[in-house]
């Protein structure tokens, strides 16, 4: 099997991300292969549903290949921009796929892993699921439709997830609209067996269980109050006076890139008013394009992934130094470089 495997059995087109040592992180060839097979399978009468999972026992997918993106950015290349363009087209295709698209969101599902799962029609989590959009921790901004999904979570839960860059549980993901079904991880083989002779809906009716309570739902009161503020500065001010859990969230946010925080908040607010995923993906591409050329992104990857000193030197270093013009520059049109091919 290559970096991604494809198999059709009993009418199920199965996609298996196969880079377990890299937590199944996505590269461009994997994205192109998935686009190609999904386009073929959509009109293949021998494929009645698609299922995506990850090799190994650690998770579905930890996101894009950050080391490769870092090397590309340092070299002044453009390969990462082409990767994102095709990745976002893949996200859009998954969201409107005409056949059931089942995502086994077992274990870690981060960043790009959310993009290939949470836009599907049948999203399955387990007790091992840890789902997140950690981009602000590396000077980046949630993408792959993440701002679309998080901006539509109940209340301000999506803002909390994005700005803290924290991971959430399977039950939290269901509550936030990023997943649909819960089942014990040990029953995944039972689901695969059931899919061989049943529709996805009837197979899930047989295997899935009621999800345990969502911890985020229990914290909604203070989260909604604190994150309803119009600026990151005011959000932090409210968090510092909101109790122990809120103060912990403030500490997590304050370690992130000030620029990424402000751009992310604006991206979430504007995404909430946009009509569909494709429009949001076009905005995310503009933001990603600008972030790719920024020192923030390279520094964030250096500190978290390359040197692992966990001590990024952000510039600007404080929220007060991030002015409106800098934030606006991330949303400026790209002319001939605009994302294309995702419209309905």
Q: What angle do CA 173, 232, 258 make, to 5 degrees?
A: 95
Calpha distance 19→25 (Å, rounded): 7
Query: Is 254 annotated as catalytic?
Result: no
Residues facing 63 on adjacent strands: none
Sole residue written with tokens 């909430």: 272
Question: Is the distance from CB of 59 to CB of 108 less than 8 angstroms?
Answer: yes
Question: Is the distance from CB of 214 to CB of 169 less than 8 angstroms?
Answer: yes
Calpha distance 199→290 (Å, rounded): 43
The enclosing H or E element of 39 equals helix 28-41
Indicate which residue of 59, 107, 112, 113 is catalytic: 112
Indicate which residue of 143, 172, 180, 278 is catalytic: 143
Residues facing 122 on adjacent strands: 102
Query: Is 64 annotated as catalytic?
Result: yes
Indicate which residue of 65, 87, 135, 278 is catalytic: 135
> Which residues contact residue 81 at a Cβ distance below 8 angstroms, ignoring those fewer than 6 apart?
288, 289, 292, 337
Calpha distance 326→247 (Å, rounded): 28
Cα distance from N-terminal residue to C-terminal residue, the chain: 33
Query: Is 145 annotated as catalytic?
Result: no
Query: Is 201 annotated as catalytic?
Result: no
In the chain, DSSP assigns E strands to 4-9, 12-17, 49-54, 59-61, 101-105, 108-110, 122-125, 130-132, 167-169, 181-182
Indicate which residue of 64, 115, 132, 170 is catalytic: 64
Residues facing 324 on adjacent strands: none
SS3 label, residue 146:
helix
Known catalytic residues?
A: 64, 112, 135, 143
């Amino acid at each position: 099997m290559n970096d991604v495997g494809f198999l059709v059995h009993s009418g199920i087109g199965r996609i298996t991300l196969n880079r377990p040592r890299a937590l199944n992180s996505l590269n461009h060839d994997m994205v192109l292969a998935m686009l190609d097979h999904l386009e073929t399978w959509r009109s293949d009468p021998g494929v009645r549903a698609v299922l995506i999972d990850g090799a190994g026992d650690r998770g579905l997918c930890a996101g894009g290949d950050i080391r490769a993106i870092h090397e590309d950015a340092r070299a002044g290349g453009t390969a990462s921009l082409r990767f994102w363009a095709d990745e976002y087209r893949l996200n859009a295709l998954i969201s409107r796929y005409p056949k059931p698209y089942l995502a086994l969101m077992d274990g870690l599902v981060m960043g790009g892993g959310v993009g290939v799962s949470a836009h599907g029609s049948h999203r399955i989590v387990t007790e091992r699921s840890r789902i997140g959009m950690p981009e602000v921790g590396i000077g980046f901004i949630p993408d792959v439709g993440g701002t679309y999904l998080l901006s539509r979570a109940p209340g301000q839960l999506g803002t909390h997830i994005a700005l803290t860059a924290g991971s959430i549980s399977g039950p939290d993901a269901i509550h936030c609209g990023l997943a649909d079904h819960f089942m014990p991880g040990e029953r995944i083989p039972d689901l695969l067996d059931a899919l061989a002779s049943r529709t996805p809906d009837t197979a899930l009716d047989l295997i899935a269980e009621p999800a345990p309570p969502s911890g985020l739902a229990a914290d909604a009161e203070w989260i909604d109050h604190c994150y309803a503020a119009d600026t990151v500065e005011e959000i932090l001010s409210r968090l510092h006076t909101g109790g122990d859990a809120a103060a912990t969230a403030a500490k997590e946010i304050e370690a992130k890139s000030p620029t990424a925080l402000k751009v992310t908040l604006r991206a979430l607010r504007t995404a909430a008013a946009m009509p569909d995923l494709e429009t949001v993906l076009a905005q995310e591409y503009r933001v990603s394009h600008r972030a790719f050329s920024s020192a923030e992104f390279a520094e964030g990857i250096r500190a978290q992934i390359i040197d692992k000193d966990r001590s990024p030197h952000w510039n600007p270093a404080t929220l007060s130094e991030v002015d409106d013009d800098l934030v606006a520059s991330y949303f400026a049109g790209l002319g001939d470089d605009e994302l294309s091919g995702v419209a309905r």
